[in-house]
């Protein structure tokens, strides 16, 4: 195997890693503040991509559907729509179930994801078929031997990493982030200190869902195709990445995301049948869970008796 | 009238009403009637619980467990006898019984022991595929194959025991989700197991009698071959139900409940937590495997597409809809979830959507399910006026 091919696999793995990390970061944020797993996250990723697609159709009507500017507009549209949806979901379904068994929260979000998926399939025009996603990024590439370095991949990696770093800085360096961390540490005490618990929770869900929309749009731009079922696998992969990295830590999400992408890439190279890559990757995840039950970066207080 | 007689009367009336309902539900074709019946079932159960009628029947059943099971099995046979010529209705009935069996397995797992399992359909599938391979490549009697399939499901499930024991809560959920997806993908890419096209499965034969033949009763008409499968599925479901009820009443059930409610407290009272978790997980998977084996023989054909992650969610929804840990609740829940989308053609296209919304509403406004689990009653009549 020559250098160009290796580099090609590497580049592909990095783009996947960025997408997975963005999804995983959402899981980690939600788990951090409320100790819940929101299983509709993968479908929010999908819905974000479809919102962007609808926005693109709108732009085309105005004859503005070309170039980076259009890409920017549809991305913003997707992120804003999903952030709103995330906050509404938290308000309507997740906060009311705070005192119910965790399994109920898990199930209600799973079912919400199913409802979202079915709605797109049934109500989006021709939604049950894969839809082509517009190529809006500049179609430039440089070739080094066998390696075709596409400019759009590089842009996607930069934007994705930028978003994750941005969220991390927001959590670690700002007053809002301080409130989020306070709620994550101890909701009761945070309330006594005058932090508006509900607002912090809604904000976190908006943030995570916006990130999910970005992941969906990145996925669409990279593969030039979206379909209504793509959220399920992306959600499960994002969740695996977050758990393997260690729930509740953004670094863990990044490590987990890239680890999963790496496993998939190794699986794709290793086996003659490329479809075995998911079997391989999920098998490794189960083994990793047996070895490190609370993820690679363990939660500081995973046991509460 | 003596209390004993009154108990029997309550049981018979309840079983009769249930049987009548099932027959109507499976037999009627008019869309409005089906919608009305489904609504009636949900409201009826709600008011039966509120008015204490159901508690009365359940108390009667726990005082006379054998009689209760016998009466209900007779009711089940009566249903099959009434519907004997209708292929589709019997197929539905058999499917409901098999789903009940799987969901009773899940009830042991997370209703009692508190182990989440999001790969129920994978263990069902392992049973089905084991049956397909064994019927094609061995001469083992078919009844034995059903049992072997259950054991294989339990055995393959034991691969997950180590990660399950070391993890908890959300982490354990991930292990089973990963396994469910891994199983489905593995089936699709594995050519020896038929790949995406799946495998054909021989029909069941017991002592040379093939269950796939219609039975002719001379002037009385013919009995659909699905009646035999429905009968078999009914007996398996009844056996599973008996097992669960006995389990719940025994020390094992108490231990499992202790493990679920508080592992630390359970361990400090000398309960061997890992042992009971392994027991519950394996027992549940075995039941799923047995149901899968019968399903494979009945449908004659299995493919990876029938063992989706979404189907595992369906199973979990049945358990929660009925009420977590409530064996009785599994019955109406399975009936609704399996039959309603097939019968109500208006909603066929929208069924998953409506169904998802329904479960969301239940979890939001009635999280205990249709028939919440009741307290054990060890001493008949004790504490009752």
Q: What CATH number does residue B356 fall under?
A: 1.10.3470
Residue predicted with more confidence, B350 or B158: B158
**Would an 8 Å CB–CB cutoff place B192 in contact with chain A?**
no
What is the reported pLDDT for A248?
A: 76
Residues 6+ apart with CB under 8 A from B351: B340, B341, B344
Write the residue in B171, B185, B320 that is nearest to A293 by C-beta. Answer: B171
What is the reported pLDDT for B364?
A: 83
Across the interface, whether the CB atoms of A118 and B320 are under 8 A apart is answered no
What is the reported pLDDT for A39?
A: 83
What is the reported pLDDT for B126?
A: 93
Write the residue in B173, B320, B360 that is nearest to A93 by C-beta. Answer: B360
**Interior CA angle at A35 toward A32 and A40, to 5°?**
95
Where is average pLDDT lowest: A62-66, B21-25, B36-40?
A62-66
What is the reported pLDDT for B377?
A: 67
Across the interface, whether the CB atoms of B363 and A104 are under 8 A apart is answered yes
CA dist., res. A290 & res. A286, Å (int):
6
| Domain extent at residue B309 | 88-365
Strand partners for B209: B206
**Would an 8 Å CB–CB cutoff place A119 in contact with chain B?**
yes
**Would an 8 Å CB–CB cutoff place A96 in contact with chain B?**
yes
Residue of B nearest to A246 (CA): B171
CA dist., res. B34 & res. B24, Å (int):
9
pLDDT digits (tens, 9 = 90+) for B90-120: 888 899 999 999 999 999 988 898 888 888 8
In a domain, B343, yes or no: yes
Write the residue in A101, A286, A293 that is nearest to B178 by C-beta. Answer: A286
Determine the 3-state secondary structure of B193 from DSSP. Answer: coil
In a domain, B158, yes or no: yes
* Chain A residues whose beta carbon lies within 8 Å of the beta carbon of residue B196: none
Residue predicted with more confidence, A140 or B353: B353
In a domain, B282, yes or no: yes
Are residues A238 and A252 in contact, defined by beta-carbon separation less than 8 angstroms? Answer: no
Whether the pLDDT of residue B2 is over 70: the answer is: no
Tell me how many helices (H) and strands (E) chain B has. Answer: 17, 6
User: Best mutation site among B173, B322, B356 for testing chain A: the one with the most A CBs within 10 Å?
Assistant: B356
What is the reported pLDDT for A302?
A: 43
Q: What is the mean pLDDT of residues B230-248?
A: 89
Across the interface, whether the CB atoms of A290 and B166 are under 8 A apart is answered yes
Question: Which of A175, A187, A174 lies closest to A32 in space, CA to CA?
Answer: A187
Q: Which 166-185 residues of chain A touch chain B by CB within 8 A? A: none
Whether the pLDDT of residue B221 is over 70: the answer is: no
* Chain B residues whose beta carbon lies within 8 Å of the beta carbon of residue A97: 363-364, 367
pLDDT digits (tens, 9 = 90+) for B62-98: 777 777 778 888 888 888 888 777 778 888 889 999 9
**Would an 8 Å CB–CB cutoff place B189 in contact with chain A?**
yes
CA dist., res. A7 & res. B20, Å (int):
68
Q: What is the mean pLDDT of residues B123-148?
A: 88
CA-to-CA dists, residue A2 to A16, A144, B323, angstroms: 22, 12, 59
The percent of residues above 90 in pLDDT, for chain B, comes to 16
CA dist., res. B260 & res. B241, Å (int):
21
Question: Which of A18, A24, A25 lies closest to A221 in space, CA to CA?
Answer: A18
Domain count of the fold of chain B: 1
Write the residue in A103, A240, A293 that is nearest to B178 by C-beta. Answer: A240
**Would an 8 Å CB–CB cutoff place A102 in contact with chain B?**
yes
Q: B233 vs chain A: nearest CA distance in angstroms? A: 28
Confidence band for B214, pLDDT divided at 50, 70 and 90: low
**ipTM, 2 decimals?**
0.80
What is the reported pLDDT for A300?
A: 55
Whether the pLDDT of residue B286 is over 60: the answer is: yes
User: Best mutation site among B162, B185, B316 for testing chain A: the one with the most A CBs within 10 Å?
Assistant: B185
Q: In chain A, helix, strand, coil percent, each to 5?
A: 75, 5, 20
Write the residue in A111, A233, A289 that is nearest to B175 by C-beta. Answer: A289
Residue of B nearest to A295 (CA): B171
**Would an 8 Å CB–CB cutoff place A233 in contact with chain B?**
yes
Question: Which of B242, B86, B34 lies closest to B94 in space, CA to CA?
Answer: B86
Per-residue pLDDT of chain A (305 residues; tens, 9 = 90+): 567 777 888 888 899 999 999 999 998 888 888 788 888 899 999 999 999 989 888 888 887 767 778 888 888 999 999 999 999 999 988 888 887 777 778 878 888 988 898 888 888 888 788 888 888 777 777 777 667 777 888 888 999 999 999 998 998 889 988 998 888 888 888 889 888 988 999 999 999 999 999 999 999 988 888 888 888 888 888 988 888 888 778 888 899 999 999 988 888 887 777 677 777 888 888 888 778 777 777 655 444 33
Write the residue in B168, B179, B367 that is nearest to A286 by C-beta. Answer: B179
What is the reported pLDDT for A81?
A: 93
In a domain, B134, yes or no: yes
Q: A101 vs chain B: nearest CA distance in angstroms? A: 9
* Chain B residues whose beta carbon lies within 8 Å of the beta carbon of residue A283: 182
Residue predicted with more confidence, A260 or B306: A260
Q: B357 vs chain A: nearest CA distance in angstroms? A: 7
User: In chain A, where do the E strands start and end?
Assistant: 131-132, 141-144, 147-150, 225-226
Residue of B nearest to A104 (CA): B363
Whether the pLDDT of residue B61 is over 80: the answer is: no
**Would an 8 Å CB–CB cutoff place B239 in contact with chain A?**
no
What DSSP string runs through B60-116?
HHHHSHHHHHHHHHHHHHHHHHHTTT-HHHHHHHHHHHHHHHHHHHHIIIIIIS---
**Would an 8 Å CB–CB cutoff place A236 in contact with chain B?**
yes
**Would an 8 Å CB–CB cutoff place A223 in contact with chain B?**
no
Q: In order of start, what are the domains of chain A with their CATH numbers?
A: 3-126+151-291 (1.10.3470)
Q: What is the mean pLDDT of residues B136-145?
A: 83
* Chain B residues whose beta carbon lies within 8 Å of the beta carbon of residue A102: 169-170
In a domain, B274, yes or no: yes
Across the interface, whether the CB atoms of A106 and B170 are under 8 A apart is answered yes
Mean pLDDT of chain B: 82
Q: A73 vs chain B: nearest CA distance in angstroms? A: 30
In a domain, B31, yes or no: no
* Chain B residues whose beta carbon lies within 8 Å of the beta carbon of residue A245: none
What is the reported pLDDT for A303?
A: 40
What is the reported pLDDT for B385?
A: 45
What is the reported pLDDT for A19?
A: 92
The pTM assigned to this predicted structure is 0.82
Q: B358 vs chain A: nearest CA distance in angstroms? A: 9
In a domain, B38, yes or no: no
Across the interface, whether the CB atoms of A285 and B174 are under 8 A apart is answered yes
What is the reported pLDDT for B122?
A: 93
Determine the 3-state secondary structure of B222 from DSSP. Answer: strand
Across the interface, whether the CB atoms of A282 and B181 are under 8 A apart is answered yes
**Would an 8 Å CB–CB cutoff place B346 in contact with chain A?**
no
Whether the pLDDT of residue B379 is over 70: the answer is: no
Q: What is the mean pLDDT of residues B324-339?
A: 84
Confidence band for B12, pLDDT divided at 50, 70 and 90: confident
Residue of B nearest to A229 (CA): B310
* Chain A residues whose beta carbon lies within 8 Å of the beta carbon of residue B162: 290
User: Best mutation site among A38, A40, A96, A114 for testing chain B: the one with the most B CBs within 10 Å?
Assistant: A114
Across the interface, whether the CB atoms of A110 and B171 are under 8 A apart is answered no
Write the residue in B173, B188, B310 that is nearest to A106 by C-beta. Answer: B173
User: Best mutation site among B156, B333, B355, B363 for testing chain A: the one with the most A CBs within 10 Å?
Assistant: B363
pLDDT digits (tens, 9 = 90+) for B161-209: 888 887 776 777 778 888 888 888 888 887 778 777 878 887 777 666 6
Across the interface, whether the CB atoms of B178 and A232 are under 8 A apart is answered no
What is the reported pLDDT for A84?
A: 94
């Amino acid at each position: 195997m020559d250098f160009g091919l290796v580099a090609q696999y590497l580049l592909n793995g990095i783009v996947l890693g960025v997408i997975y990390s963005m999804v995983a970061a959402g899981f980690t944020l939600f788990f951090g503040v409320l100790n819940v797993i929101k299983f509709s996250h993968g479908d929010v990723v999908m819905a974000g991509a479809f919102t962007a697609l609808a926005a693109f159709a709108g732009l085309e009507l105005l004859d503005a559907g070309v170039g980076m500017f259009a890409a920017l507009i549809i991305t913003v549209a997707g992120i804003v729509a999903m952030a709103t949806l995330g906050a509404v979901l938290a308000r309507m379904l997740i906060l009311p179930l705070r005192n119910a068994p965790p399994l109920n929260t898990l199930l209600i979000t799973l079912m919400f994801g199913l409802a979202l998926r079915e709605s797109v399939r049934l109500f989006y025009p021709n939604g049950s078929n894969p839809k082509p996603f517009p190529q809006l990024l500049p179609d430039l590439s440089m070739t080094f031997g066998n390696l075709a370095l596409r400019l759009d991949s590089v842009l996607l990696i930069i934007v994705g990493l930028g978003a994750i770093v941005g969220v991390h800085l927001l959590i670690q360096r700002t007053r809002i982030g301080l409130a989020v961390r306070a709620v994550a540490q101890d909701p009761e005490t945070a309330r006594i200190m005058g932090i508006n618990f509900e607002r912090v929770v809604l904000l976190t869900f908006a943030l995570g869902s916006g990130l999910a929309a970005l992941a969906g749009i990145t996925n669409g731009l990279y593969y030039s195709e979206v379909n209504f079922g793509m959220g399920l696998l992306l959600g499960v992969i994002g969740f695996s990445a977050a758990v393997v990295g260690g729930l509740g830590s953004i670094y863990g999400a990044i490590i987990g995301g890239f680890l999963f992408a790496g496993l998939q890439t190794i699986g794709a190279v290793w086996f003659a049948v490329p479809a075995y890559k998911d079997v391989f990757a999920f098998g490794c995840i189960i083994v990793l869970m047996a070895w490190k039950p609370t993820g690679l970066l363990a939660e500081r207080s995973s046991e509460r008796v | 009238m003596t209390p004993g007689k009154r108990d029997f009367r309550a049981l018979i009336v309840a079983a009769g009403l249930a049987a009548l309902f099932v027959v109507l539900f499976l037999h009627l074709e008019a869309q409005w009637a089906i919608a009305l019946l489904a609504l009636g079932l949900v409201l009826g159960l709600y008011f039966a619980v509120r008015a204490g009628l159901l508690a009365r029947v359940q108390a009667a059943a726990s005082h006379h467990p054998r009689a209760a099971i016998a009466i209900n099995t007779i009711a089940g046979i009566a249903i099959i006898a009434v519907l004997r010529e209708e292929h589709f209705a019997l197929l539905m009935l058999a499917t409901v019984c098999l789903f009940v069996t799987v969901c009773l397995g899940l009830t042991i797992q997370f209703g009692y022991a508190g182990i989440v399992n999001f790969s129920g359909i994978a263990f069902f599938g392992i049973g089905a595929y084991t049956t397909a391979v064994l019927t094609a490549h061995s001469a083992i009697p078919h009844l034995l194959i059903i049992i072997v399939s259950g054991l294989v499901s339990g055995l393959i499930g034991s691969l997950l025991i180590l990660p399950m024991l070391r993890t908890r809560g959300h982490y354990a959920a991930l292990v089973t989700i990963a396994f469910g997806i891994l199983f489905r993908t593995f089936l699709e890419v594995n050519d020896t197991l038929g790949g995406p096209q799946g495998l054909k499965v021989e029909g069941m034969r017991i002592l040379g009698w093939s269950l796939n033949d219609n039975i002719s009763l001379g002037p009385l008409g013919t009995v659909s071959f699905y009646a035999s499968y429905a009968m078999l599925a009914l007996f398996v479901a009844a056996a599973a139900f008996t097992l669960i009820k006995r389990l719940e009443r025994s020390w094992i059930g108490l231990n499992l409940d202790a493990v679920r409610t508080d592992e630390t407290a359970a361990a400090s009272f000398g309960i061997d937590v890992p042992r009971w978790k392994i027991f519950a997980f394996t027992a549940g998977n075995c039941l799923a495997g047995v149901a899968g084996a019968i399903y494979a023989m009945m449908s004659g054909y299995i493919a990876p597409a029938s063992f989706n992650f979404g189907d595992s969610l369906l199973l979990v929804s049945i358990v929660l809809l009925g009420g977590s840990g409530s064996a009785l609740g599994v019955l109406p829940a399975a009936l609704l979830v399996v039959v309603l989308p097939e019968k109500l053609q208006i909603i066929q296209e929208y069924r998953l959507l409506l169904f998802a919304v329904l479960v969301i509403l239940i979890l939001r406004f009635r999280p205990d399910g249709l028939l919440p689990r009741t307290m054990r009653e060890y001493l008949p009549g004790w504490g009752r006026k």
